[in-house]
Structure 1
């Protein structure tokens, strides 16, 4: 179980770092999480003690619910796919508090960014919160700017839940 807990933690850190730096989660990173979560489930060694049923429900709920935000243009596809993979790792019962924690952090990020944009007391912090600036490539369709690294906040919340959330 310790090996899968370490693998999950390393995956969560990789997702957080990548999403903070690039404001996207690549498919290969999502797929690595899915494969390792399925291996942990098959061997009965999930770090969150989730069952197949709970993990599949967590994955379906996470993916399905956030898909609505993607369709409306409020969220990137990487966030949606990552949440589906995260649901496999954590299961339904842990996904809900992780989701709440990540959403509160993302909300604080948004409020701070909007505040600093309006009153630029700390312009470097505002730029850091906004993420990397990219000039659109010639001929490429314009893409919506993703300010909030939601997958990173989900990953951090899941890592915190691994360490502290299950302690009584």
Structure 2
């Protein structure tokens, strides 16, 4: 099951980094596998139903505040809820802090590259705007920071190196 959770995180990372969105089918698929692992008593991180459900509610509820203020997309929030089903409540804070540091570094690098225009291609890639949209001035809102990708990366690091044995 650990391999399935890591594969799911990889899919989230790639999809969010490329598309700046997390599709519902991917979130629901990960949540379904997490629930299946709990039901079969094959949960790879040793948590039970109560911890998984609490992780789901807290992960979803906490990031829902950021969505309500317009700082985060709905896919990020739904992914955090599904992630809570996998890892439970206790690792959510260190995962969130790690993801926030990565997202902050992304934002600072993007600001520096936009301000000084050293590498315009890299700035465009980090902004999440397709080359054709950037040139045409399309008004479609794109979130420049793929927070779900950074949540997935921080989660994968925790799953491989940070969790208690």
2:37 to 40, 44, 47: 40
TM-score with structure 1 setting the length: 0.90
Shift of 1:46: 1.6
Structure 2 partner of 1:138: none
Counterpart Cα distance in 2 of 1:81 and 1:116: 31
Pairing 1:97–2:127 present? no
Counterpart Cα distance in 1 of 2:152 and 2:39: 22
In the TM superposition, what whole-angstrom CA distance separates every residue of 1:135-162 from its partner, at most 9, and x where no partner exists? 4xxxxxx543200000000111111111
In the TM superposition, what whole-angstrom CA distance separates every residue of 1:83-103 from its partner, at most 9, and x where no partner exists? 000000010011111111111
Pairing 1:74–2:85 present? no
Gaps of 5+ in 2: 134-138
Secondary structure, aligned partner of 2:91:
helix
> 4+ residue stretches of structure 1 with deviation over 3 A?
none
2:145 to 133, 143, 148: 148
Secondary structure, aligned partner of 1:18:
helix
1:50 to 47, 51, 62: 47
1:27 to 24, 28, 45: 24
| RMSD, aligned α-carbons | 1.6
Counterpart Cα distance in 1 of 2:121 and 2:164: 38
Shift of 1:167: 5.2
Q: Is the 8 A contact 2:14 2:149 kept in 1?
A: yes
Shift of 1:9: 0.7
Counterpart Cα distance in 2 of 1:127 and 1:92: 36
Counterpart Cα distance in 1 of 2:38 and 2:2: 12
